[in-house]
Amino acid sequence: MSILSGKNILLGVTAGIAAYKTAHLTRLFVRAGAQVKVVMTPKSMEFVTPLTLSTLSKNPVVSEFISHDEENETWNSHVELGLWADYFLVAPATANSLSKMVKGTADNLLIATYLSAKCPVYIAPAMDLDMYKHPSTTQNLDNLASFGNIIIPAETGELASGLIGEGRMAEPETIVAFMEQHIQKSLPLYGKNVLITAGPTYESIDPVRFIGNHSSGKMGFELAKQAAGMGANVVLIAGPSQQSCDDFPIKRIDVTSAQEMYEAVFQYYDQMHLVIAAAAVADYKPVEVASQKIKKSEDQLTLTLVKNPDILAAMGKVKKQQILVGFALETENELENALGKLKRKNLDAIVLNSLQDFGAGFQKDTNKVTFIDRFENKTTFALQSKKEVAKDIINQILTIYHV
C-alpha cells in the first residue's frame, strides 16, 4: 500500500508545457489511494483543461478566487484549500511562479493557497535549460528550500524548445516515488523495528476443545497498523483472530498457543526497538492434551493446568535497547495491579484498561485506557475508537521515550 493512501493531495499547476503531464500525475495519485484536488493558475489552463483534471481527480478544479456558474458565485477559499491538504505539490512550477512563491506575490489563487498551506510543499520545477540554470532561478529554488519546501529536481533531456539539457519536469512516476520516499523517511518510526502481540491464545484440551479468552485482536491490530503508518517495520504476532491487516506493510505471524507466541516473539525480539504486548495470553494450559476427543462420561471432569511462560516478563528480563510496553486488563484494584505488572515485568510503560469501564476491553471497537510510564506518571485518555487509542499510545511512547 502506498504511504499516500488516504492522504489529501493538493496539486498546483502553473503555466508550463509540462502541465500536460499532470493528467497522468493525477491518475497516479488517485491510484495510490489519495484524494486529489487541483488548483491551477489561469494561464495553465491553456496547456491542460480543468475538465481533464477534474474528471481524473473526481473533484472540481479551481483557479479563481471567485467561481461563476450560471446562477451563483462561489468564493474559493485559499485558506480552506491550504488546510485541507496533507501535501501540496506544485508541478510544473514555472520560473514565474517560483519567483512569486519566494516574494509572496499572491496575485492568483495558487500562490495565495501556497502561502496559506501548513503542510509539506513539494515543488517540481520545469523550464528551458537556460532559465533553469539562471542565477535568479537557482537562487529562488535555494530560497524556497530554505523556507522548508522540498524541491524535486528537474531532469535532463529533450526540452519543448528542442534543446537538450536540464529543466524537464521530473516524470510523474519519479515525482510520486520521490514524495513517497520523502514522506516515509520523515515518519517518526522510520527505520525502527516494532513488534506487537495481539489477540488471544488457545490452549488445547483435546483435538476439538481449548481454553481461550474473548480477545478479538482489534486493539493489537490497530497498534500494528498505526506503527506501520508511522513508518516502522512491523512484526505482528497474532493469536487466532478474524482481524486483517492485508493492506498494510506488516509481517504477520499467526500462532495459536502461548508457547507458540513465546517462540515467535523471541525469534524477533533481539532486533526490536519497540515492543507492545496487547495479546491476552492464557496464563495456564492443560498439563496434558488428550490425543482423542474426551468422552462425556463422568458428572465432573477435572483438568490439571500448568503455568504458561509469561512472555512479557521474559522479555523484560533480557531487555536491552527495547522500549517494552505491556497491557493490563483488570477487573478490580486496577491501578495497583497495573503498577505491580509494570515493576515485576521490568516494563517502560503499561496501558491499563478496565472491564469496569463502559466501552472498554474485549471485542469492542472502542477502548478507554490509562498510560502509565516507568516513573508512574499517568495519562488517561477518553473513550474512543481503538484506532484513536492506538495513535495516542504510540504518540505517548514517542513523547516520553527515544525509540
238, β-bridge pairs? 198, 254
Binding status of residue 281 toward ligand PMT by CB under 6 A: yes
Q: How far is the CB of 369 from ligand PMT (least distance, A)?
A: 7
Binding status of residue 279 toward ligand PMT by CB under 6 A: yes
Binding status of residue 264 toward ligand PMT by CB under 6 A: no
Q: Residues 278, 323, 342, 403: which binds ligand PMT (CB under 6 A)?
A: 278
Stretch that binds ligand PMT, among 130-138, 272-280, 297-305, 374-382 (CB under 6 A): 272-280
380, β-bridge pairs? 370
Question: 303 with 286: CB under 8 angstroms?
Answer: yes
Fill in the amino acid letter for 300. Q
Who's near 285: CB < 8 A, 6+ residues apart?
A: 203, 204, 211, 257, 258, 259, 305, 306, 308
In the region spanning residues 348 to 367, those forming contacts with ligand PMT, defined by CB under 6 A, are: 353, 361-363
Q: Which is nearer to ligand PMT, 165 or 212 (CB)?
A: 212
Quote the CA–CA distance of 396 and 263 in Å, as a whole number.
Answer: 29
As separate numbers, helices (DSSP H) first and strands (DSSP E) second, the chain gives 13, 24
In the region spanning residues 154 to 213, those forming contacts with ligand PMT, defined by CB under 6 A, are: 197, 199
Stretch that binds ligand PMT, among 69-77, 154-162, 225-233, 280-288 (CB under 6 A): 280-288
Q: Which is nearer to ligand PMT, 140 or 353 (CB)?
A: 353
Choosing from 76, 96, 143, 213, which is the catalytic residue?
Answer: 213
Binding mask 311-350 for ligand PMT (x = CB under 6 A): xx-------------xxxx-----------x---------
Q: How far is the CB of 230 from ligand PMT (least distance, A)?
A: 19
Q: How far is the CB of 149 from ligand PMT (least distance, A)?
A: 41
Quote the CA–CA distance of 371 and 360 in Å, as a whole number.
Answer: 14
Pairing of strands 35-40, 366-367: unpaired
Binding status of residue 388 toward ligand PMT by CB under 6 A: no
Question: From the CB of residue 99, how many other CB atoms can be counted at a distance below 10 Å?
Answer: 16
Q: How far is the CB of 217 from ligand PMT (least distance, A)?
A: 5
Interior/surface letters 45-77, b for 16+ CB within 10 angstroms, e for the rest = bebbebeebbebbeeebbbeeeeeeeeeeeebb
User: Is residue 149 annotated as part of the catalytic site, yes or no?
Assistant: no
Question: 269 with 293: CB under 8 angstroms?
Answer: no
What is the DSSP secondary-structure string of 262-303? HHHHHHHGGG-SEEEE--B--SEEESS--SSPPP--SS----
Q: How far is the CB of 374 from ligand PMT (least distance, A)?
A: 15
Binding status of residue 138 toward ligand PMT by CB under 6 A: no
Residues touching ligand PMT: how many (CB under 6 A)? 27
Stretch that binds ligand PMT, among 52-60, 108-116, 309-317, 390-398 (CB under 6 A): 309-317
Q: How far is the CB of 281 from ligand PMT (least distance, A)?
A: 4
Q: Residues 9, 25, 39, 277: which binds ligand PMT (CB under 6 A)?
A: 277
Who's near 236: CB < 8 A, 6+ residues apart?
A: 195, 196, 197, 198, 220, 221, 224, 245, 250, 251, 252, 253
Binding status of residue 310 toward ligand PMT by CB under 6 A: yes
Q: Which three cell numbers stand for residue 284?
A: 495456564
Q: Which is nearer to ligand PMT, 268 or 362 (CB)?
A: 362
In the region spanning residues 95 to 114, those forming contacts with ligand PMT, defined by CB under 6 A, are: none
Furthest-apart CA pair in the chain: how many Å?
Answer: 94
Q: How far is the CB of 66 from ligand PMT (least distance, A)?
A: 50
Q: Which is nearer to ligand PMT, 117 or 245 (CB)?
A: 245
Separation in Å, CA 141 to CA 97, 100, 124, 132: 11, 12, 10, 10
Question: 193 with 228: CB under 8 angstroms?
Answer: no
Q: Residues 78, 100, 218, 225: which binds ligand PMT (CB under 6 A)?
A: 218
Fill in the amino acid letter for 382. A
189, β-bridge pairs? none
The helix (H) or strand (E) run that includes residue 304 is none
Q: How far is the CB of 331 from ligand PMT (least distance, A)?
A: 10
- Per CB under 6 A, residues contacting ligand PMT are 197, 199, 215-219, 258, 277-281, 283, 308, 310-312, 326-329, 341, 353, 361-363
**Residues acting as catalytic residues:** 213
